[in-house]
Structure formats: structure tokens, C-alpha cells
Amino acid sequence: MYKPNPIDTTKITLSSDIIALGEVLAKNTHEVWAVGRIADGWTHGDVRDDLKKKHPCLVPYEELSESEKDYDRATATETLKVIMSLGYAINKKDDYNLFSQKTVEMLDLLFFVLRDEKIQAPAPSSAPISPYQ
């Protein structure tokens, strides 16, 4: 007989940022599910009817009952906890921090050098410049 054995996530505590991410994932889970149902010919119906392919949850996530949202939230939250329990870290990239601090410092230095070179460069001449001068 099959005995489920999920990864133990009881010691994982999610920060408020990760809980917020869980809500985004829950909504996306619903959206992906709905796309699949609609592609299979399902439409909204007040009562689920598998023969007529009607489902009451084929509505925007915001219109779902809290119990329906909780189903998607539980899946998202547990997935996040499993990721973290396996040793992975979830960090949001800062849109303004796409480069490491070292890279930013090197780019600043490069732009400084290029700017100075331009300022100190000789005035353009109409005569062709030989690379052998």
C-alpha cells in the first residue's frame, strides 16, 4: 500500500516577503490551471459538471472563495518550504542592483578613464592619422 512521504518542512519559517511571493505563486497556479482547463474545452459553470465541462472555479483568482484560494496557497507555500529545506535561498533581485558592487566600481573607473581620455585627447585634424606615428 502506498504511504506518502513528503519532505519534512515543519522547521521552515517563511519571512513576510516569501509569504507574499507565495500569494503570487498561488495566483499563478490558479491561472495555469485555468489555462489548461479552458484549452481542454471547459467553461465556467455554477456547479461542476465533468460531462459538460463546467467548473465554478473558472473565474479570476480574486473571485475565488477563500477556501479555494487556500488550496492554491497551500501548494505554493509547501513548495517554497521544500525549496528552502533543501538548502536553496530565495532572494529577490533589486532592479537597481543588477551588477555586483565590484562590477559597478569597475564600470565607474572605466567611465572616469574614458571621460578623462576624451578631455585630454588632441583636437581632431583634417590630416589622416597614421598608426605608426
Report the predicted TM-score, pTM, of the whole model to 2 decimal places: 0.67
Q: What percent of the chain lies above the pLDDT cut of 70?
A: 70
9 and 78 in contact (C-beta within 8 Å)? yes
82: pLDDT confidence band, cut at 50, 70 and 90? Answer: very high
pLDDT of residue 92: 81
Cα–Cα separations (whole angstroms), residue 33 to 92, 99, 120:
25, 36, 63
Q: Which domains does the chain have, with CATH numbers?
A: 16-85 (1.10.490.160)
116-124 average pLDDT score: 49
